[in-house]
Amino acid sequence: MSARITRITRTARRTRLLAVSAVALTAALSLTACDNGEGSKDAGAANGSVAPTGGSAQAGGSDGKPADGSKPGQSGSTGNTGTTTGNGNSGTSTGKDSQGSQDSKGSSSSSSNGSSHTSGSSGSTGASDPNDPKNRAICDSRNIKITAQVVKRPIDTMLLTATNTGSKLCDFGGAPILRFEGAQSVPPAMEDTKGQAVTSIKPGESAYAAVKLTQGDKTDDPGYWAKTLSVGFYNIKQKPLDGFVNVPLSGKDGVYIDSSVRVSYWQNDLDAVSSL
């Protein structure tokens, strides 16, 4: 009886031992399977990603291939476009940006902290365009100072000098408008002195006009001495402008004029009026 009980006890122990061994073996096989799966993922990540310095990139798929299907050796990172280098070296990577745009390839250089550097230069000459209407003005009584001087040659001729005292280039619209003291009318312009282009002067520069005071023996008009003179201006459309410049006349008696008095157009070249 005692021997039978002993055999039954031993049999129960072996059964329990086998059961425990089976459970341990099953757990070991499960752990091995899990380890193999994680190893495959790690291997896939190691073969399909580039680890940048100072930034992060997501690894490829669990099967060891990049998520976008590119060949091993190319990075399939999401949210980065172009090249990322950690040690100042350049390379090429292909990926999609965070907005889902198409793949782009390019090479760029970045510092070890992951920041990219771009360089460029821009500048302007700062010079204003004189042809811009904003930078031009009409020559008139507000920006012109005029002096008058009777010259020896040609005889019976007075030279008008108009200087731009403004801050912009200004344009003369035509010949000067002369108002001599006691004159019944404005002297006509000498049309043969009209230039092909508008006469313009920069600030500080001068233009010139010649006034033929008399024709001497060629007229029966006895003439008279004018002691005052004022000069007006035309606009580009040949319309008279408001405002006149009072011009001092040399000599105690002023200048001698007759009905033949006439005036040239404004000229940039002093020699052009000195030869009239």
pLDDT at residue 63, as a whole number: 46
Output phi, psi for 26, to 5 deg: -65, -40
The 10s digit of each residue's pLDDT in 5-37 is: 555 556 556 656 566 555 556 655 555 444 444
- pTM for this one? 0.54
The 10s digit of each residue's pLDDT in 215-250 is: 876 667 788 999 999 999 999 999 999 999 999 998
Q: Where are the domains of the chain?
A: 1-114, 136-274
Structure tokens at 267: 């000229």
pLDDT at residue 68, as a whole number: 47
- Secondary structure (DSSP) of 233-249: -B-TTSPBPS--EEE--
CA dist 93 and 158 (Å) reads 82
pLDDT at residue 136, as a whole number: 93
> Strands of 136-138's sheet, edge to edge?
136-138, 169-171, 200-201
Mean pLDDT of 259-264: 94
Q: Where are the beta strands (DSSP E) in the chain?
A: 136-138, 144-151, 157-164, 169-171, 177-180, 200-201, 206-212, 224-226, 229-232, 245-247, 255-257, 262-263
More confident residue, 253 or 51: 253
pLDDT at residue 215, as a whole number: 83
Specify the residue for token string 């752990």: 31
CATH number of 136-274: 2.60.40
More confident residue, 233 or 54: 233
Listed range (65-74, 234-243, 265-274) with the worst mean pLDDT:
65-74
Mean pLDDT of 133-156: 93
Which of 256, 243, 252, 240 lies closest to 146 in space, CA to CA? Answer: 243
In whole numbers, what is the pLDDT of the chain averaged over residues? Answer: 71
pLDDT at residue 97, as a whole number: 44
